[in-house]
């Protein structure tokens, strides 16, 4: 049996738009239609961040801390921090757990200027760049290491590929078809929305983290 011998299938922005238009029953496309579809694609990618954690957007990052400085501006593409630890320059092999606290809890700390090894942090998720606040204030050089949830890259030029794993391509095309139908083919919107949600469910279930399963036998009383 002859096969292709490849597994590199992918879609660029123009092909995703083309597939979405075909599902809406639209054959001709103007320049404005393409611009509108790309805008809808970027809106949809932003909406994906509100649906939960997309594992391919989780990155391990670090932030260098300096003595007597309690707040730090983080990267503008950061959405949230999932887990975090701190280690010192004198011992880079030992991770120190830091707990996340709320805005109110941080506000109610009476002596924020107290210095030591930070054990708590508050993340202010601003509209542009997030700010990290630490308590106690670092008393020297430390490193804040964290898993960050980041934004999906924008849909750029029409011949660019998207920062989306192959397993999400069916969801991507179904989603854009649904978004496009709202503007161009409302009679198809209910069906396309249903297909989109089904594809999202399948992709998100496949994207969930894997962990070992341990079964503990139930112990009865003798």
Range of the domain at 93: 55-150
Q: Say how far apart CA 200 and CA 206 lie, in whole Å.
A: 10
Residues 132 and 94 in one domain: yes
Domain assignment of residue 83, yes or no: yes
Per-residue pLDDT at 66 exceeds 80: yes
Q: Say how far apart CA 36 and CA 173 lie, in whole Å.
A: 15
Per-residue pLDDT at 216 exceeds 50: no
Per-residue pLDDT at 6 exceeds 70: yes
Per-residue pLDDT at 214 exceeds 70: no
Domain assignment of residue 215, yes or no: no
Res. 222 pLDDT band, cuts 50 70 90: very low
Q: What's the mean pLDDT in 7-12?
A: 93
CB neighbours of 130 closer than 8 A, spacing ≥ 6?
73, 74, 78, 123, 124
Domain assignment of residue 212, yes or no: no
Residue-wise pLDDT for 83-125, tens only, equals 999 998 888 889 999 999 999 999 999 999 999 999 999 999 9
Residues 97 and 164 in one domain: no
| Domain-terminating residue out of 132, 150, 168 | 150
Dihedral sign computed on CA atoms, order 100, 107, 70, 74: positive
pTM: 0.84
pLDDT higher for 128 or 220? 128
Instruction: Say if residues 147 and 153 touch (Cβ distance below 8 Å).
Output: no
Q: Say how far apart CA 10 and CA 16 lie, in whole Å.
A: 10
Q: What's the mean pLDDT in 139-158?
A: 94
Helix (H) or strand (E) holding 181: helix 169-184
Instruction: Say if residues 69 and 141 touch (Cβ distance below 8 Å).
Output: no
Residues 80 and 132 in one domain: yes
Query: What does the pLDDT read at residue 220?
Result: 47
Res. 217 pLDDT band, cuts 50 70 90: very low
Kindly state the tokens that stand for 140. Answer: 């020297």
* Percent of the residues in the chain that have a pLDDT greater than 90, as a whole number: 80
The HSE-up count of residue 192 (CA atoms within 13 Å, CB side) is: 25
Tokens 């249903």 -> residue:
194
The chain-wide mean pLDDT, for the chain, equals 91
CA-CA-CA-CA torsion for 126, 131, 135, 141, nearest 10 degrees? 170
Residues 62 and 143 in one domain: yes
Residues 100 and 26 in one domain: no
Domain assignment of residue 132, yes or no: yes
Residues 141 and 185 in one domain: no
Cis preceding linkage at 136, omega within 30: yes
Domain assignment of residue 44, yes or no: yes
Q: Say how far apart CA 12 and CA 16 lie, in whole Å.
A: 6
Domain assignment of residue 2, yes or no: no
pLDDT higher for 167 or 217? 167
């Amino acid at each position: 049996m002859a096969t292709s011998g490849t597994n590199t299938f992918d879609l660029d922005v123009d092909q995703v738009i083309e597939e979405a238009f075909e599902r809406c029953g639209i054959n001709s496309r103007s320049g404005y239609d393409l611009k509108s579809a790309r805008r809808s694609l970027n809106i949809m990618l932003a909406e994906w961040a509100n649906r939960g954690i997309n594992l391919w957007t989780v990155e391990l990052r670090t932030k260098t801390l300096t003595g007597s400085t309690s707040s730090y501006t983080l990267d503008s593409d950061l959405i949230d921090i999932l887990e975090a630890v701190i280690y010192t320059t004198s011992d880079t092999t030992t991770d120190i757990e830091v707990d996340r606290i709320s805005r109110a809890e941080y506000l109610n700390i009476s002596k924020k200027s107290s210095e030591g090894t930070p054990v708590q942090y508050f993340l202010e998720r601003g509209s542009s760049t997030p700010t990290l606040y630490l308590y106690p204030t670092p008393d020297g050089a430390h490193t804040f290491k964290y898993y960050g949830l980041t934004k999906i890259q924008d849909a750029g030029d029409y011949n660019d590929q998207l920062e989306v794993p192959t397993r999400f391509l069916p969801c991507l095309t179904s989603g854009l078809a649904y978004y496009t139908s709202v503007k161009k083919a409302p009679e198809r919107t209910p069906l396309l929305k249903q297909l989109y949600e089904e594809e999202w469910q399948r992709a998100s279930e496949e994207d969930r983290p894997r962990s070992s399963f341990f079964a503990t036998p139930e112990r009865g009383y003798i």
